[in-house]
């Protein structure tokens, strides 16, 4: 959940408690069953909930309600039992293929709930810190999986899963969103804010540049110290990319807030009341933080099993590891963003869809990847930005195609279909792609 909603968050922030209560009462029926516990919770938390601390029963109620809101209310959470099931299978059978599959299924709802907890926390912290939270925790799942893989020295898996996450966000998620939105709104052309798309495309191209140079340097065998130069270059480039990302955040959150107002926002805020953006927080601030911590630890726990099972799954199912890392892992990691992007596109809020999809890609390419390089540096792992020629070329052509399609600021179902078909071509290419790095390392 990495999209920025500075204006909506501002409006929530400025409301007084009484307006807050009035808004609760005006939430339509679909939220009605939640409004009762919210109202009580609201009164409990907002008017000095500390007075409930002394009462044990009140505590238990709060915890139960919290669990109910966070864990049980979402249909996706049916997949949650797969997590512990995966651990059982791992301990008892050691069948890596199934462990991998079940862990994948188990992480999906956790990733979604993590995003939900981040959103909820963002309501309390105000737009700036909220945006920062979204920017950092938006792809927490991918980051956690990557850090575990790094720890195990599976550098190619890290590179490929991050690359696959970028590709899946740019092509699959965006394509599905455009396609569904275009089908629902067949009679008109959906528009979105060009400026955001262009800035994000520029950042993605900059990331491609950062990835291209070490790869080409290595491939043309023209570096000063073979093998060591790209590592040094990668680490330097990563610091620069992190700096660029920090400045981008600053730019987005502080200076140019008016640049990112979505095109049809003026009408939408007054008319629609089934608006997800005007949703009020459903759990309190401390609950959000606690749930954030719980979800993160749970995901870390499952990621351990996931990463351990990758190689075994590849052998058991006869699929190249690159296909698992580039296509399967990210589809799962992005499942929640996928669903929300499609939903927003069907509600004709393309700016939010774009923020989810392209913003997530930007975040991974300008923050996630350099961050992993730096973590690798700290851990002493030789993680670099040399993603090997094939992957780099794939990223390059994909960024170009997407940047081109986004630049005129309109969308229709055909564009979405094109993006999805491009993703199928990319997936097919990785299905028949073996990694040369094993051969390279043997050679050097």
Q: Which residues lie near another protein (CB under 8 A)?
A: 186, 189, 320, 388-390, 393-394, 397-398, 400-401, 404-405, 407-408, 410, 412-415, 417-418, 421-422, 424-426, 428-429, 431-436
Give the span between the Cα atoms of 306 and 298, in whole angstroms. Answer: 12
Query: Whole-number minimum distance, CB 236 to another protein, in Å?
Result: 26
Q: How many CA atoms lie within 13 A of 88 on its CB side?
A: 7
Query: Whole-number minimum distance, CB 400 to another protein, in Å?
Result: 7
DSSP reduced 3-state for 371: helix
Q: Scan for tokens 């575990």, then name that residue.
A: 148
Query: Whole-number minimum distance, CB 183 to another protein, in Å?
Result: 10
Query: Whole-number minimum distance, CB 390 to another protein, in Å?
Result: 5
Task: Please identify, using beta-carbon distances, which residue of 78 and 424 lies nearer to another protein.
Answer: 424
Task: Please identify, using beta-carbon distances, which residue of 347 and 433 lies nearer to another protein.
Answer: 433
Task: Please identify, using beta-carbon distances, which residue of 315 and 425 lies nearer to another protein.
Answer: 425
Task: Please identify, using beta-carbon distances, which residue of 123 and 185 lies nearer to another protein.
Answer: 185
Asked whether the beta carbons of 114 and 140 are under 8 A apart, the reply is: yes
Give the span between the Cα atoms of 396 and 404, in whole angstroms. Answer: 12
Residues 6+ apart with CB under 8 A from 6: 127, 131, 252, 253, 257, 260
Query: Whole-number minimum distance, CB 174 to another protein, in Å?
Result: 13
190 DSSP β-pair partners: 411
Residues 6+ apart with CB under 8 A from 82: 102, 103, 105, 106
Query: Whole-number minimum distance, CB 226 to another protein, in Å?
Result: 18
Query: Whole-number minimum distance, CB 439 to another protein, in Å?
Result: 8
Q: Scan for tokens 């191209």, then name that residue.
A: 205
Residues 6+ apart with CB under 8 A from 112: 74, 76, 335, 336, 339
Task: Please identify, using beta-carbon distances, which residue of 200 and 388 lies nearer to another protein.
Answer: 388
Give the span between the Cα atoms of 172 and 159, in whole angstroms. Answer: 19
Task: Please identify, using beta-carbon distances, which residue of 200 and 394 lies nearer to another protein.
Answer: 394
Asked whether the beta carbons of 194 and 409 are under 8 A apart, the reply is: yes
Task: Please identify, using beta-carbon distances, which residue of 251 and 414 lies nearer to another protein.
Answer: 414
């Amino acid at each position: 959940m990495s999209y920025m909603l500075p204006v909506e968050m501002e409006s929530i922030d400025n409301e007084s408690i009484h307006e807050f209560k009035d808004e609760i009462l005006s939430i339509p029926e679909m939220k009605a069953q939640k409004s009762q516990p919210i109202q009580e919770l609201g009164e409990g938390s907002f008017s000095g909930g500390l007075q409930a601390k002394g009462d044990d029963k009140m505590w238990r109620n709060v915890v139960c309600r919290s669990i109910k809101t966070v864990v049980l209310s979402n249909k996706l959470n049916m997949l949650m039992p797969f997590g512990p099931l995966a651990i059982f299978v791992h301990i008892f059978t050691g069948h890596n293929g199934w462990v991998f599959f079940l862990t994948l299924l188990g992480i999906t709802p956790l990733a979604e709930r993590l995003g939900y907890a981040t959103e909820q926390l963002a309501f309390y912290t105000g737009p700036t810190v909220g945006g920062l939270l979204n920017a950092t925790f938006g792809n927490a799942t991918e980051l956690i999986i990557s850090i575990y893989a790094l720890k195990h020295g599976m550098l190619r898996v890290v590179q490929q899963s991050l690359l696959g996450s970028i590709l899946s966000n740019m092509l699959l998620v965006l394509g599905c969103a455009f396609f569904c939105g275009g089908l629902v709104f067949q009679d008109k052309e959906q528009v979105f804010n060009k400026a955001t798309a262009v800035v994000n495309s520029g950042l993605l191209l900059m990331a491609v540049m950062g990835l291209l140079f070490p790869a080409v340097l290595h491939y043309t065998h023209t570096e000063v110290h073979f093998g060591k130069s790209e590592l040094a270059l990668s680490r330097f480039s990563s610091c620069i990319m992190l700096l660029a990302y920090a400045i981008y955040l600053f730019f987005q959150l502080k200076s140019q807030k008016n640049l990112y107002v979505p095109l049809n926002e003026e009408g939408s805020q007054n008319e629609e009341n089934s608006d997800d953006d005007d949703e009020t927080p459903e759990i309190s601030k401390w609950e959000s933080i606690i749930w954030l911590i719980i979800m993160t630890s749970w995901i870390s726990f499952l990621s351990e099993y996931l990463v351990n099972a990758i190689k075994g799954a590849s052998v058991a199912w006869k699929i190249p590891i690159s296909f698992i890392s580039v296509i399967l892992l990210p589809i799962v990691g992005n499942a929640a963003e996928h669903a929300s992007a499609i939903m927003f596109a069907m509600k004709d809020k393309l700016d939010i869809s774009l923020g989810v999809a392209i913003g997530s890609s930007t975040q991974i390419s300008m923050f996630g990847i350099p961050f992993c390089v730096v973590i690798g540096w700290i851990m002493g792992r030789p993680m670099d930005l040399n993603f090997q020629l094939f992957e780099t070329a794939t990223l390059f052509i994909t960024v170009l195609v997407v940047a081109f399609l986004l630049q005129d600021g309109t969308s229709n179902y055909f564009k979405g279909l094109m993006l999805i078909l491009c993703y199928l071509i990319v997936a097919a290419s990785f299905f028949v792609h073996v990694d040369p790095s094993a051969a390279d390392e043997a050679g050097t």
